Amino acid sequence: MTETKTPRLSRRTLLQGAGAAAGLAAGSGVITGFPAIIAAEPVTLRYLGTAVNQSGDIARKVKEDLGITIEYIPVVTDEVSKRVVTQPNSFDIVDSEYFSLKKLMPSGNLVGMDARRIKNADKITPVFTKGEVGGKKIGDQGTAPKKVFYLEGQNSTKFAASPTEWITLIPTTYNADTLGIRPDLIKRPITSWKELLNPEFKGKASILNIPSIGIMDAAMVVEATGDYTYPDKGNMTKAEIDRTMKVLIEAKRAGQFRAFWQDFNESVNLMASGETVIQSMWSPAVTKVRSQGVACTYQPLKEGYRAWATGFGLPKTLSGKKLDAAYDFINWFLSGWAGAYLNRQGYYSAVLETAKANMEPYEWAFWMEGKPAEKDIKAPDGTIMEKAGAVRDGGSFEQRMGAVACWNSVMDENTYMVRKWNEFIAA
């Protein structure tokens, strides 16, 4: 049922899109005699984002369903923001982190998205719209998406406190991050963030060398030790930054860290080779270590998770056929196939019900409900990720996202923080 339903839906979207494009082209007088051919001319969208979210499978499926060619521009997170601010004409759609919005929106290069043109806008999970999971409020320290989800107007650079029809980013993926550990080498239960700086793991711990994220992991540790409770870990005062950095510098001088990592593969190698036994990590990296036959747990901790989210934004300069195509693509993205694809990799998708309709019940039960896998869980490419009987670390969607303590962020004192971070690296 569902399998036949989705393509038909997307085909209709395609026709609508094509019709609108033709109408628009006719209206603007571009056509010189071959309307059908010009209207059917394939549209290419330049998709700026990090490589993590840019899958060839998705691009192929879009081409099949909508006839839109997706041209990926894969760069690192920081480069995404840099491009949006400095070269806003170099892409047609951007997949950016929500925390970057504080930098991006004031530049005026992104435009508010019309919620009325997003078919599933009202079905986007309340994690984004209200900061809730299953009716329960979740942690909103840092740049929680709900704080930057709406704009006051289409061309406004101010975030709206209450829902409006102008959305900054339509969520693509989000997740809750925690520490990865090697249970075979640690040999005892780990329940708290403070273990990251426990001298027991001297020379075998690691954090990431991305200042704005690394400092929040450190703040989780400081809070876990009971030293200090931050009013907002995602927006520290100078004194709080100093306090946190002092803890980090002491740990570094004592030789706590084996290395710092900056990209996905570095974190996988450190963990898989046994150079580190406990470190801040990303969910797919844990999966990758495990797929190499090395025991690795994405350990839920009592203080909660540090969450992040990314979403689609549109540049102000986008218009005409490309703008329509961008909306079509976003609508397609929320219609289920892509959501299911992302859920199967351990990320979460924006509209859960459409994703559910595109997943096998046993897959949904494993990834989203935290139940033991009935059958082997396979990656999109067919390799086995988890054997039958395995349970997802951290449990269900509600357990994991419900336990979020803070969100990746950009602080008001960002410049100072970066300077202090450089000091920490030099210490």
Partner 1 sequence: MSTAAAPALPEAATAASTPTGLAAATRRQRRLAYWQAMPLGLVFLVFFLVPLALTLIVSFWEYNEYEIIPAFTLQNYADVFEGCLSGGDLCTTFRTYLSTLKFCLLGWAATLTIGFTVAYFVAFHVRSTAMQTVLFLICTIPFWTSNVIRMIAWVPLLGRNGLVNDTLMGLGLIRTPIEGLLYSDFSVVLAFIHLDTVFMIVPIFNSMMRIDRSLIEAATDAGATAWQTLWNVIVPLCKPGIAIGSIFVLTLIMGDFVTVGVMGGQQIASVGKVIQVQMAYLQFPAAAANAVVLLGAVMVLIGALTRLIDLRREL
Place of tokens 């998205």: 113
* Complex with partner 1: residue 245 or 405, whichever CB lies closer: 245
Note whether 90 binds partner 1 by CB under 8 A.
Answer: no
Nearer to partner 1, 150 or 261 (CB): 261
For helices 283-291 and 264-272, angle between their N-to-C axes, nearest 10 degrees: 40
**Residue 210: CB minimum distance to partner 1, A:** 8
Segment lying near partner 1 (by CB under 8 A), choices 4-12, 104-112, 175-183, 222-230: 104-112
What distance in Å separates the CA atoms of residue 342 and residue 348, rounded to the nearest whole number? 7
As given in the structure block, the two tokens for residue 47 are 């998709």
| Neighbour count for residue 313 (Cβ, 10 Å) | 28
- Candidate residues 260, 337, 347, 364; the one interacting with partner 1 per rule CB under 8 A: 260
Stretch touching partner 1 by CB under 8 A, among 75-83, 134-142, 193-201, 394-402: 75-83
In the complex, minimum distance from the CB of residue 2 to partner 1, in angstroms, rounded to a whole number: 43
Neighbouring residues of 368: CB distance < 8 A, sequence distance ≥ 6: 343, 352, 356, 396, 397
Are residues 279 and 300 in contact, defined by beta-carbon separation less than 8 angstroms?
Answer: no
Q: Does 156 bind partner 1 (CB under 8 A)?
A: no
Q: Is 75 in the site for partner 1 (CB under 8 A)?
A: no
Q: Can residue 422 be called a binding residue for partner 1 (CB under 8 A)?
A: yes
Q: Is 274 in the site for partner 1 (CB under 8 A)?
A: yes
Does the footprint of partner 1 cover residue 82 (CB under 8 A)? yes
Q: Which is nearer to partner 1, 59 or 259 (CB)?
A: 259
Collapsing DSSP to helix, strand or coil, 385 comes out as strand
Question: In sequence order, what DSSP letters do the residues of 272-311 get, joined into one string?
Answer: HTTS-SEEEE-HHHHHHHHHTT---EEE--TT-EEEEEEE
The region of 122-130, 234-242, 295-303, 410-418 touching partner 1 under the rule CB under 8 A is 410-418
| Closer CB to partner 1, 122 or 412, in the complex | 412
Tell me if 273 contacts partner 1 by CB under 8 A.
Answer: yes
Would the CA dihedral through 128, 134, 136, 139 be positive or negative? negative
| Residue 23 binding partner 1, by CB under 8 A | no
Q: Which is nearer to partner 1, 64 or 78 (CB)?
A: 78
* 86 φ/ψ sector (left φ>0, alpha ψ -120 to 50, else beta): alpha
Tell me which stretch binds partner 1 (CB under 8 A): 17-25, 40-48, 270-278, 359-367.
270-278
CB of residue 413 to partner 1, shortest distance in Å:
11
Residue 198 sits in the site that holds partner 1 (CB under 8 A): no
Minimum CB distance to partner 1 smaller for 391 or for 427: 427
298 binds partner 1, rule: CB under 8 A: no
Q: Whose Cβ is closer to partner 1: residue 2's or residue 262's?
A: 262
Task: Say whether residue 308 binds partner 1 (CB under 8 A).
Answer: no
Distance CA 275, CA 254 (A): 17
Give the closest residue to 311 by CA, choosing from 99, 13, 26, 57.
Answer: 99
Is residue 107 a contact residue for partner 1 (CB under 8 A)? yes
The smaller minimum CB distance to partner 1, of residues 203 and 320, is found at 203
Which of 47, 98, 257, 348 touches partner 1 by CB under 8 A?
Answer: 257
Task: Please state the closest distance from residue 273 (CB atom) to partner 1, in A.
Answer: 6
Question: What's the closest the beta carbon of residue 82 comes to partner 1, in angstroms?
Answer: 6
Environment class of 86 (CB within 10 Å of its CB; exposed 0-12, middle 13-18, buried 19+): exposed
Q: How many helices and strands in the chain, by DSSP H and E? A: 17, 17
Q: Which of 296, 244, 246 is nearest to 271 (CA)?
A: 296
To partner 1, the closest distance from the beta carbon of 218 in angstroms equals 15
Interacting residue with partner 1 among 41, 64, 78, 227 (CB under 8 A): 78
Decide if 403 contacts 176 (C-beta within 8 A). Answer: yes
Tokens (6 digits) for 28: 């603007």
In 282-409 the beta strands, taken as DSSP E runs, fall at 297-299, 305-315, 377-378, 384-386, 404-407
* Interface residue list for partner 1 (CB under 8 A): 76, 78-79, 81-82, 85, 102-104, 106-107, 203, 209, 211, 252, 257-262, 269, 273-275, 410, 414-415, 418-419, 421-423, 425-427
